[in-house]
């Protein structure tokens, strides 16, 4: 078996077992985005890609696929080893999946350590009355865009700092395309007496049902839990008044003001894991 760069030709003639994978041609963005195929007997038996996000640079995301009839023969491990040699920096890999997904067993066998858990996310909008409302909550539509972008970046930065720190200049990539997907009427924010945005419940309308991301903009925010509850409650009320019945949330078990609110909304669904895999 040998390895070579994954090409545009490989993508064009890709077998059905590649579908659903995050694969692109080698160097598709730059030296931080690499991919390869494993060849055996003149045939492609596996493919894999590693990439650094434009927002985070502490770990390379990895995706691998092995020919379904050739699994459990060490090929996945072998291509992971090869991908490790393509890293532009000596940092570990990251992977993610629902806790009951088979691919996480491969990650675990390769020494995965859980870095974050995303709790079940589907919520019935009628549960919003279990949250307190807050008088200072308002629609994002009435607030200057640059202040929302700055608040979004601040919220994102501190909620990731302990387990997946952002890279310098991450704000541009983070906020790219934000206004194409943000529901500014349903999204809610708290603006304090000094005019500072202190909490957000951002509603994304490019998913079905819509998705809410909510937290304060600083870790140590006075009344943080109440501000987040109030923001979420308003966002959910707007969606309910439009006739919707459900919403999804995206957050982490380590988000100290979001998780208590979510727990009251009786979410259902599957738990999700993000793991670090040491480079072999
Ligand atoms: C995940 C995948 C790449 C593993 O490829 P592979 O060639 O079978 O991996 P390996 O043979 O190197 O397996 C190494 C170890 O991982 C674990 N493992 C891999 N697949 C497993 C499975 N389905 N169930 C339980 N353990 C598994 C085992 O411990 C295995 O060692 P063992 O066979 O000696 O018990 C392959 O199953 C696949 O292509 N899945 C579909 C695509 C996918 O989910 N990709 C995500 C990868 S991040």
- Ligand 1 centroid–CA 119 distance in Å is 25
pLDDT of residue 230: 98
The CATH number of domain 122-272 is 3.40.630.30: yes
pLDDT of residue 151: 98
Q: Is the pTM of this model over 0.85?
A: yes
The answer to whether domain 2-91 and domain 122-272 are alike in fold is yes
Angle at 204 between CA 162 and CA 274, to 5 degrees: 35
pLDDT of residue 20: 85
> Beta partners for 5?
36
- Ligand 1 centroid–CA 108 distance in Å is 10
Report whether 259 contacts 119 (CB < 8 A). yes
Report whether 140 contacts 187 (CB < 8 A). yes
From CA 267, how far away is CA 269, in angstroms rounded? 7
- Ligand 1 centroid–CA 265 distance in Å is 36
Per-residue pLDDT of the chain (280 residues; tens, 9 = 90+): 999 999 999 999 999 999 888 899 999 999 999 999 999 999 999 999 999 999 999 999 999 999 999 999 999 999 999 999 999 999 999 999 999 998 899 999 999 999 999 999 999 999 999 999 999 999 999 899 999 999 999 999 999 999 999 999 999 999 999 999 999 999 999 999 888 999 999 999 999 999 999 999 999 999 999 999 999 999 999 999 999 999 999 999 999 999 999 999 999 999 999 999 999 8
Q: Which residues contact 221 (CB under 8 A, 6 or more apart)?
A: 198, 199, 227, 257
Q: Identify the CATH homologous superfamily for domain 2-91.
A: Gcn5-related N-acetyltransferase (GNAT) (3.40.630.30)
Residue nearest to atom 34 of ligand 1 (CA): 72
Read off the tokens for 203.
Answer: 């509603």
From CA 258, how far away is CA 280, in angstroms rounded? 36
From CA 41, how far away is CA 80, in angstroms rounded? 20
Distances in Å between the alpha carbon of 53 and those of 30, 167, 169, 182, 250? 11, 9, 12, 21, 18
The ranges assigned to domains in the chain are: 2-91, 122-272
From CA 148, how far away is CA 175, in angstroms rounded? 10
Q: What's the gap between Cα 39 and its chain centre?
A: 32
Instruction: Tell which atom from ligand 1 comes closest to the C-alpha of 71.
Output: 8
* Most informative mutation of 3, 48, 106, 273 for ligand 1 (most atoms within 8 A of CB): 106
pLDDT of residue 112: 97
Other beta carbons within 10 angstroms of residue 263's beta carbon come to 11
From CA 77, how far away is CA 106, in angstroms rounded? 9
Q: How is 95-151 classified by DSSP, letter by letter?
A: EEEETT-THHHHHHHTT-EEEEEE---EEEGGGGGGSPP-TTEEEGGGS-HHHHHHH
- Ligand 1 centroid–CA 62 distance in Å is 14
> Beta partners for 124?
246
Sheet holding 272-277, edge to edge: 2-5, 33-40, 43-51, 60-66, 93-98, 272-277, 113-118
What residue ranges in the chain does DSSP mark as E strands? 2-5, 33-40, 43-51, 60-66, 93-98, 113-118, 122-124, 137-139, 188-191, 197-204, 211-216, 246-249, 272-277
Residue nearest to atom 7 of ligand 1 (CA): 76
Residues within 6 Å of ligand 1 by CB: 62-66, 71-77, 95, 102-103, 105-106, 109
Distances in Å between the alpha carbon of 179 and those of 63, 125, 148, 234, 268? 29, 24, 10, 20, 29
Instruction: Tell which atom from ligand 1 comes closest to the C-alpha of 62.
Output: 48
At 38-94, the pLDDT tens digits run 999 999 999 999 999 999 999 999 999 999 999 999 999 999 999 999 999 999 999
pLDDT of residue 22: 85
- Ligand 1 centroid–CA 259 distance in Å is 33
């Amino acid at each position: 078996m040998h390895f070579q760069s994954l090409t545009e030709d490989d993508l064009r003639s890709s077998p059905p077992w590649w579908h659903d994978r995050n694969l692109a041609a080698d160097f598709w963005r730059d030296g931080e985005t690499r991919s390869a195929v494993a060849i055996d007997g003149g045939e492609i038996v596996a493919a894999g890609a590693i990439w650094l996000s434009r927002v985070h640079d502490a770990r390379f995301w990895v995706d691998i696929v092995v020919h379904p009839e050739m699994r459990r023969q060490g090929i996945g491990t072998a291509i992971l080893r090869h991908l490790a040699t393509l890293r532009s920096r000596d940092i570990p890999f990251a992977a993610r999946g629902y806790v009951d997904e088979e691919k996480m067993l491969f990650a675990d066998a390769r020494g995965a350590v859980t870095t974050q858990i995303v709790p079940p996310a589907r919520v019935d909008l009628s549960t919003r009355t279990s949250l307190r409302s807050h008088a200072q909550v308002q629609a994002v539509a009435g607030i200057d865009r640059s202040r929302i972008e700055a608040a979004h970046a601040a919220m994102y930065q501190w909620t990731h700092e302990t387990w997946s720190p952002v890279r310098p200049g991450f704000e541009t990539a983070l906020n790219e395309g934000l206004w194409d997907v943000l529901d500014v009427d349903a999204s809610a924010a708290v603006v304090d007496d000094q005019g500072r945005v202190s909490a957000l419940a951002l509603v994304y309308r490019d998913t079905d049902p819509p998705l809410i991301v909510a937290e304060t903009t600083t870790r140590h925010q006075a009344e943080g839990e109440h501000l987040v509850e109030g923001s979420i409650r308003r966002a959910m009320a707007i969606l309910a008044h439009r006739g919707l019945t459900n919403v999804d949330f995206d957050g982490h078990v380590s988000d100290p003001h979001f998780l208590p609110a979510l727990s009251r909304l009786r979410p259902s669904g599957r738990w999700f894991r993000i793991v670090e895999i040491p480079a072999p």
